Amino acid sequence: MRLIKLKNVVSGMTLAKGIYSCEGKVLLAEGVRLTGSYIDRLKEIGIYEIYIEDEISKDIHIRDIIDDQTRIAAKRTICQAVRDLRLKKSFDVPRVSEIVNRIVDDLLSNKNIMINLADLRSVDEYTFAHSVNVAVVAIVIGKALGYNQLRLRDLGIGAILHDIGKTEIPLEILNKPGRLEASEVEIMKKHPEYGYEILKRHRDISTLSRGIPLMHHERIDGSGYPYGKKGDEIHEFAKIVAIADTYDAMTSNRIYKQKVAPDKAIEYLVSTGNYNFDYNIVKLFLNHVTLYPVGTIVRLNTAQKGIVIDNNQYSPTRPIVRIIKDEKLHSSSEFEEIDLQKHLTVFIEEICDE
Q: What does the pLDDT read at residue 314? A: 78
Least confident of 74-88, 191-205, 235-249, 318-332: 318-332
Average the pLDDT over 119-146 and give the result: 83
pLDDT tier at 97 (50, 70, 90 boundaries)?
A: very high
* pLDDT of residue 126 exceeding 60: yes
Q: Which CATH number characterizes residue 75's domain?
A: 1.10.3210.10
Q: What does the pLDDT read at residue 289? A: 85
Q: Average per-residue pLDDT in the chain? A: 90
* pLDDT of residue 230 exceeding 60: yes
Q: What does the pLDDT read at residue 117? A: 60
Average the pLDDT over 331-339 and give the result: 84
62 within domain boundaries: no
Q: What does the pLDDT read at residue 279? A: 94
Residues 163 and 24 in one domain: no
CA distance 354 to 322: 14
Which residue in 152, 160, 172, 73 sits closest to 109, CA to CA?
Answer: 152
Asked whether the beta carbons of 2 and 305 are under 8 A apart, the reply is: no
Residues 137 and 258 in one domain: yes
Phi-psi region of 49 (alpha: psi -120 to 50; beta: other; left: phi over 0): beta
Total Cβ atoms within 10 A of residue 320: 17
Residues 316 and 219 in one domain: no
Total Cβ atoms within 10 A of residue 47: 22
234, 267, 286 - which closes a domain: 286
Show the domain range for 313: 297-351
221 within domain boundaries: yes
List, for residues 280-325, the tens digit of each pLDDT value: 999 999 888 888 888 889 999 999 999 999 988 778 889 999 999 9
DSSP string covering 40-101: HHHHHTTB-EEEEE-GGGTT-----SS-HHHHHHHHHHHHHHHHHHHTT----HHHHHHHHH
291 within domain boundaries: no
Q: What does the pLDDT read at residue 34? A: 94
pLDDT tier at 112 (50, 70, 90 boundaries)?
A: low
* pLDDT of residue 136 exceeding 90: yes
pLDDT tier at 35 (50, 70, 90 boundaries)?
A: very high
Is the four-CA dihedral 276, 280, 286, 288 of positive or negative sign?
negative
Q: Where are the alpha helices (DSSP H) in the chain?
A: 36-44, 68-86, 93-108, 126-144, 149-160, 171-174, 182-188, 191-200, 207-215, 236-250, 262-271, 279-286
Q: What does the pLDDT read at residue 85? A: 95
Largest CA distance in the chain: 64
CB proximity list for 115: less than 8 A, separation 6 or greater: 65, 136, 137, 140, 288, 289, 290
Residues 72 and 53 in one domain: no
229, 253, 286 - which closes a domain: 286
Average the pLDDT over 93-120 and give the result: 83
Q: What does the pLDDT read at residue 212? A: 98
Q: Which CATH number characterizes residue 52's domain?
A: 3.90.105.10
Count of the separate structural domains present in the chain? 3
pLDDT tier at 332 (50, 70, 90 boundaries)?
A: confident
Q: What does the pLDDT read at residue 316? A: 80
Average the pLDDT over 103-121 and give the result: 74
pLDDT tier at 67 (50, 70, 90 boundaries)?
A: confident
pLDDT tier at 214 (50, 70, 90 boundaries)?
A: very high
* pLDDT of residue 121 exceeding 60: no
DSSP string covering 143-175: HHTT--HHHHHHHHHHHHTTTGGGGGS-HHHHT
Residues 46 and 79 in one domain: no
